[in-house]
């Protein structure tokens, strides 16, 4: 939806946004992103963690941003203390969570009719044993339905799945940098009809 984006043929499956430590940003500005450190991961990175907004030749801008802002903070953990470990572990967690097939198995697939958010949450909770945080684009003017935009899973420092908790009085500051057009993702409302489109028009 962004005006000047380069989102040609967006993937028809859920991709990775990032692996974010809580309450930490830009932890080590001197530790610069170096794409050669993740050259072994490239085919997986391009497939599961694509940059759909920037058409730079090698499309590494998104990964650089995630490393600078979040990876350098995550690297305080030994299991994530290099670029190879950080990106490799994020890919591993993505495959372990396997959101694409779990949603399908739970009967949740892109549709032109609406879902109830509580039903989606319940299906995911049954599947994973934890409650993820589901984020939506709010209804556009004159519309009544929100649109699913992002599903966030929470992990312990040992990278075990855990419930995501959303304090009532704050939305997640970590999502503030993801703006789609003028709409911004925020935690979905339980009582709004919910649209899960195959692609955003």
By annotation, the residues acting in catalysis are: 17, 66, 70
Task: Give the CB-side neighbour count of residue 141, counting CA atoms within 13 A.
Answer: 1
Residue 34, SS3 per DSSP? coil
Quick one: which of 69, 72, 94, 91 has its CA closest to 83?
72
- Token match 């001197």: residue? 30
Quick one: which of 33, 77, 25 has its CA closest to 51?
33
Distance CA 94, CA 161 (A): 12
DSSP string, 59-119: --HHHHHHIIIIIHHHTTSGGG-SHHHHHHHHHHHHHHH-HHHHHHHTT----SS-EEHHH
In whole angstroms, how far apart are CA 114 and each of 11, 100, 111? 22, 19, 7
Distance CA 119, CA 33 (A): 40
């Amino acid at each position: 939806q962004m005006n000047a984006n380069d989102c040609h043929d967006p993937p028809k499956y859920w991709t990775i946004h990032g692996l974010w430590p809580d309450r930490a940003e830009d932890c080590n500005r001197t530790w610069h992103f170096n794409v050669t450190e993740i050259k072994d991961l490239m085919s997986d990175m391009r497939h599961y963690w694509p940059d759909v907004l920037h058409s730079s030749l090698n499309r590494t801008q998104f990964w650089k941003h995630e490393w600078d802002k979040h990876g350098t903070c995550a690297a305080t953990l030994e299991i994530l203390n290099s670029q190879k470990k950080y990106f490799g572990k994020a890919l591993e967690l993505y495959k372990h969570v396997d959101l694409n097939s779990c949603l399908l198995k739970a009967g949740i697939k892109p549709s032109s009719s609406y879902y109830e958010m509580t039903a989606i949450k319940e299906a995911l909770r049954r599947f994973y044993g934890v409650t993820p945080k589901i984020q939506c684009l709010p209804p556009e003017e004159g519309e009544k339905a929100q649109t699913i935009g992002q599903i966030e899973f929470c992990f312990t420092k040992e990278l075990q799945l855990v419930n995501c908790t959303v304090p009532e009085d704050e939305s997640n500051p970590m999502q503030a940098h993801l703006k789609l057009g003028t709409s911004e993702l925020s935690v979905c409302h339980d009582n709004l009809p919910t649209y899960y489109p195959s692609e955003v028009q």
